[in-house]
Amino acid sequence: MTKKHIKAHIYKKRGKFHIGKYDLRVKRSLAGLGLFTFSPIKKGSCIIEYKGPTLSKKQEEDSNSLYLFEVTKTKTIDGAVRSNTARYINHSCRPNSEIDIYKGRVYVMAKRNIKVGEELNYDYDTDYFEAYIKPKGCKCIKHAPELWVK
């Protein structure tokens, strides 16, 4: 096998959901704390996995967590655990990332090329947006561009 074939074979084996080694850091953001990249990220790359314990329907209903992620009708992840760095990814109506669910796991994928220093964000679902973001006012670049002017 040539080096070219070996690289192609490794990529095929790791697949789309192989999480890249990116320098991600939690910093202050307009929405509170946010997750920023200090490595360039290419479109289509798997950035990070949203992790946490799986809750039963009863636990989900009793929970006060703002980090619940519904994977299926019967599976919800509580991402409030500190080890879940993906919990710091904020909402944007013009996101640079998107969610991809594969085999019951939640991955954050680059929707476009992401530059060093950019805050990672994805579009939260309508229910969460209506209940928690809209009442306080969305601070994403689409709804509050004046906040993003440096």
What is the CATH number assigned to the segment(s) 15-48+85-148? 2.170.270.10
In this structure, the dihedral spanned by the alpha carbons of residues 17, 22, 28 and 33, taken in order and rounded to 10 degrees, is: 20
Query: Is the overall model pTM greater than 0.85, yes or no?
Result: no
Compute the distance between CA of residue 18 and CA of residue 2 in angstroms, rounded to an integer.
Answer: 23
Is 50 exceeded by the pLDDT of residue 17?
yes
Which amino acid, 44? Answer: G
pLDDT tens for 55-99 read: 988 898 899 888 888 898 889 999 999 999 999 998 887 899 999
Domain borders along the chain are 15-48+85-148
Q: Say if CB 46 and CB 11 are below 8 A apart.
A: no
Cα separation, 55 vs 74, in Å, equals 9
Report the pLDDT value the prediction gives residue 1, as an integer from 0 to 100.
Answer: 44
Q: Are strands 90-91 and 105-110 parallel, antiparallel or unpaired?
A: unpaired
